[in-house]
Amino acid sequence: MSKKFLIVGAGFYGATCARELTDAGHQCMVIDKREHIGGNCFTRYVEEADCHEHHYGAHIFHTNSQRIWDYVNRFASFNHYVNRVKVSHRENIYSFPINLFTLYQVFGVKTPQEAVACLEEKKERIEEPKNMEEWCLANVGREIYEIFIEGYSTKQWAKHPRELPASIIKRVPMRLNFDDNYFNDRFQGIPIGGYTSIFEKMLHGIPLELKVDFLQDRDALLGKFDHVIFTGPIDSFFDYSLGHLEYRSLRFDHQLISCPDYQGNAVFNHTDSEVPFTRTYEHKHFDMKYTADQTAVTFEYPQDWKPGKIEIYPVNTEENQNLYDQYRELTKAIPTVSFGGRLGQYRYYDMHQVIGSALEKVRTLV
Ligand code: FAD
């Protein structure tokens, strides 16, 4: 039997649910409080630079799953962009993530064997590393820690790595060969024509209203639909009755610069603590299209989060996890509302994970 679904949020979670439920014969309506679709994956075409600006930070699609890759390729063709980051520290530029070329730049080692021996010598003896700093010192030694981790992480989290868990840094790969591809996944690329056109195709034929905040009209909307899929912050749905979940936020300074190529690479990490931004990205390198005399560059500044600012990174402390679990308990009393996506599940999700999670959800709903 056909049901009426309201989907709150036109990011990847909401768009995937809307597409799949519609194709399964249900009636869907999508609303988003922003003035555009795509959530944090929204891209804006910058005519002067002839490229798509990643409006909420650099987004590289990558996945190991053939299923997810086939799914997203229904809505876009991808170029062959591979994320190879560069690090700017003091007067030097390094290859990143850390690979044999980085170790050559820092220590002069030229083979995997030399690299292993060198790192063994650099590692500090710390039996049970208790935080990010200790984990780095125990695994890669002080030089690597100071060049790549200390300043960057302090800026990113507004906390010294001594106060941060090691889990954050374990996400970043380190290789003892010359592979400088940031991701290990089989599939990777940037959608030709930008991310926004993916969402236009996913939402094709589905009623959509922008600049509508679900929370302003919650009770009336809940009464009009059989089921609501909410992809906003889970605590906002409950009016923060148990308290606010914490996030770290970012500020993006988008600039049009009068030169054809500003930094010669899509992404630079700036690891000096004195440089206030953490990353710069030059968008034409994502599109791999070098036709314009001007270029679009974004400077990314970490900032504290407070209500009203964009929620970017969940802060994975035990307190926040406990609070999230308490909100999950509240959801049990409202089975006609599902919570999903990075805000609904208070989890750092990559795009392919969000799509996968939405596909699973739809399977339980139809
Ligand atoms: P969102 O995209 O946040 O969508 C949620 C939507 O809900 C928003 O549009 C919001 O406006 C709307 N909403 C919220 N509350 C309400 C309300 N009350 N009423 C109406 N609408 C509401 N992933 C990768 O795979 N590769 C990358 O390289 C990558 N880089 C990233 C870089 C940065 C800086 C960030 C922040 C994320 C990055 N990600 C990356 C992760 C990616 O952005 C997320 O996986 C994806 O955007 C999550 O989709 P979502 O639908 O869950 O959430």
Beta carbon of 200 within 6 Å of any ligand 1 atom: no
CATH architecture group of domain 4-82+187-247+308-365: 3-Layer(aba) Sandwich (3.40)
How far is the C-alpha of 112 from the C-alpha of 95, rounded, in Å?
16
The minimum-distance atom of ligand 1 relative to the CA of 13 is: 51
Position with higher pLDDT, 168 vs 193: 193
How far is the C-alpha of 193 from the C-alpha of 78, rounded, in Å?
9
How far is the C-alpha of 293 from the C-alpha of 251, rounded, in Å?
26
Whole-number pLDDT of residue 174: 87
Average pLDDT over residues 295-315: 93
Beta carbon of 232 within 6 Å of any ligand 1 atom: yes
Sheet containing strand 85-89, strands side by side: 92-96, 85-89, 267-270, 279-282, 295-304, 247-257, 313-314
Beta carbon of 231 within 6 Å of any ligand 1 atom: yes
Average pLDDT over residues 198-211: 98
The minimum-distance atom of ligand 1 relative to the CA of 15 is: 51
Position with higher pLDDT, 308 vs 139: 139
Top mutation candidate among 37, 41, 228 for ligand 1, by most atoms within 8 Å of CB = 41
Whole-number pLDDT of residue 317: 83
Average pLDDT along the chain: 96
**CA atoms within 13 A of residue 49's CA, in its CB half-sphere:** 27
Whole-number pLDDT of residue 148: 96
Give the pLDDT confidence of 323-357 residue by residue, as tens digits.
999 999 999 999 999 999 999 999 999 999 999 99
End-to-end CA distance of the chain: 9
Nearest CA to ligand 1 atom 21: 32
CATH 1.10.3110 fits domain 98-171? yes
Any idea which residues carry the catalytic annotation? 171, 175, 248, 279, 300, 348, 350
Residue 171 has pLDDT above 80, yes or no: no
Confidence of residue 168 (pLDDT cuts 50, 70, 90): confident
Residue 96 has pLDDT above 80, yes or no: yes
Domain with CATH 1.10.3110 in the chain: 98-171
Give the pLDDT confidence of 213-260 residue by residue, as tens digits.
999 999 999 999 999 999 999 999 999 999 999 999 999 999 999 999
Domain with CATH 3.40.50.720 in the chain: 4-82+187-247+308-365
| Residue 173 token pair | 């790969």
Beta carbon of 187 within 6 Å of any ligand 1 atom: no
Beta carbon of 11 within 6 Å of any ligand 1 atom: yes
State pTM to two decimals.
0.96
The minimum-distance atom of ligand 1 relative to the CA of 213 is: 19
Please give the backbone phi and psi of residue 237, each rounded to the nearest 5 degrees, phi first: -60, -35
Residue 44 has pLDDT above 90, yes or no: yes
Beta carbon of 60 within 6 Å of any ligand 1 atom: yes
